Amino acid sequence: MIPALVVVCFILIVGVAVLGAVKYAKKAQQNFLALAAQLGLTPVEVVKKIGIAWSNPSAAGEIRGRPARVFNYSTGSGKSRTQWCAFSVVPRETGGLTFQISTQGLGSKILQVFGSREIEVGDPAFDAKWFIQTNQPEFLQAALIPELRDRMTAALSGFGRVRSPSFKLESNTILYSESATFGNEFCCGRIAGLREVMMDLADVAEVFAQQSKITGKSERS
C-alpha cells in the first residue's frame, strides 16, 4: 500500500506541476500578444512549442519609422539560467554614440572597482538610482534633460519590483532589458510604458549623429 501511495502522490505532484506550467505559458502568451498590440508590432514567432511550453516570443515592426522589436532571451545555463524581456529600437543613425544606463547596485560597484567610470547629470535622485556609462560624457550629460529623466523614472515606477533594468545603445541599436518573463504583467506594463522613452533615446542618438556630421565638416573646412 505504501509504495502505491507514493506513486499516486508522485503522479499528482507531477500533474499539478504540468498544469501549472501550461497555465503560466498560456498567460505569458496572452500577455505578450497584448503587449505587441499596444506597441503596434506584429508577432513573428510566438508559438514555438518545446514540450508543454512555448519559447522565443518575438514581435517586430516600426515605431515612428524606426525598426522596433520586443522579444525574450536567456543567459547562463542550468540553475544559473536567467530569462530576460527586451525592447529594442534602431535609430536612423547613431554617429558612434554608445551608452549603458543601469541601476546602481553590486554590479556597478564591481565595475567601479575594475576602473569603469560613470557620469552624473547633477540630479541627486537620478544619479543615486542609475549607473551611467558612455563614450560621450559631455553630450549625454546634456542630453539627459529633466523631461527624459522623469519619463524614465515614471515608466519604471508603479509596476511592482523591476529586476536589473538597463538601457543600452550598442551596435547601432537601443536595447531595454530586464530580468523577467512575459508571464509577469508588471514587466509587460513597464515595456509598454517605455515607448516614448525609447523614442527619446533614439532622438538623442540621431542628434549626436547629426552634430558629428556638422563637426566633421567644419573641421575639414
What DSSP character marks residue 135?
S
Please give the chain's pLDDT, 221 residues, in tens. Answer: 567 655 555 555 655 444 444 465 688 889 999 999 999 999 986 544 444 445 678 999 999 999 999 999 999 888 788 999 999 999 999 999 999 999 987 555 555 544 567 899 999 999 999 999 999 999 999 999 999 999 999 988 877 789 999 999 999 999 999 999 999 999 999 999 999 999 999 999 999 999 998 887 534 43
What residue ranges do the domains of the chain occupy? 2-220
